Structure 1
């Protein structure tokens, strides 16, 4: 799970570089912020899930679903905060960075 989060972070940086080449600084920051809206909640979820596996009883399904709900709420909150706080937001680049980070697990599937 942590390998997936690190891959998402690397893909987010790559999406930011491509957005910078195509649309300038505002597009780069928008793509990176969009990717971070996916990476940060996934990192929180992965760390919490890892901590739950170390408990004596192991991870239970209820905590999985609760943390999944928290991950979704955190994603929505980060997207809302980005839209509210970053004035030069390029929506196309932000959604592109989000989707690229969200679908980066496909690289891990095809790697083997």
Structure 2
């Protein structure tokens, strides 16, 4: 699980660097923020699952509560970026979000 989270953060940085080179610093920052809007909630969800797995008698409800928190945090982060970053490059922002969201496929097809 930690490899997937690290891969998502690495994908966010790589997409941000590519966007910076191709379209400039504002696009790179937009891409980084878009990638982090996906990677940060996933990291919190993974930590929640890890902490609940160590407790004996874990409930499946922990998974659903964690998933709800992850979705709410994702929406909140996306909204905060849109609201507080006026120079947002939408193409870089959405592209980075999608790349980070689907980056787990790299590890899935690796083995």
The answer to whether TM tops 0.5 is yes
Per the alignment, residue 19 of structure 1 pairs with 19
Is 1:87 aligned to 2:86, yes or no? yes
**Per-residue CA distance 1:55-94 (angstroms, 9 max, x = gap):** 0113x21110011011000000000000011111001100
Q: How do 1:2-13 and structure 2 match up within 5 A?
A: 2-13=2-13
> Unpaired runs of 5+ in structure 1?
none
Q: How many residues align?
A: 111
Q: Distance in 2 between matches of 1:106 and 1:67?
A: 22
TM-score (ref. length: structure 1)? 0.96
Which runs of at least 4 in structure 1 moved beyond 6 Å after TM superposition? none
TM-score (ref. length: structure 2)? 0.97
Per the alignment, residue 72 of structure 1 pairs with 71
| Residue aligned with 2:57, SS | coil
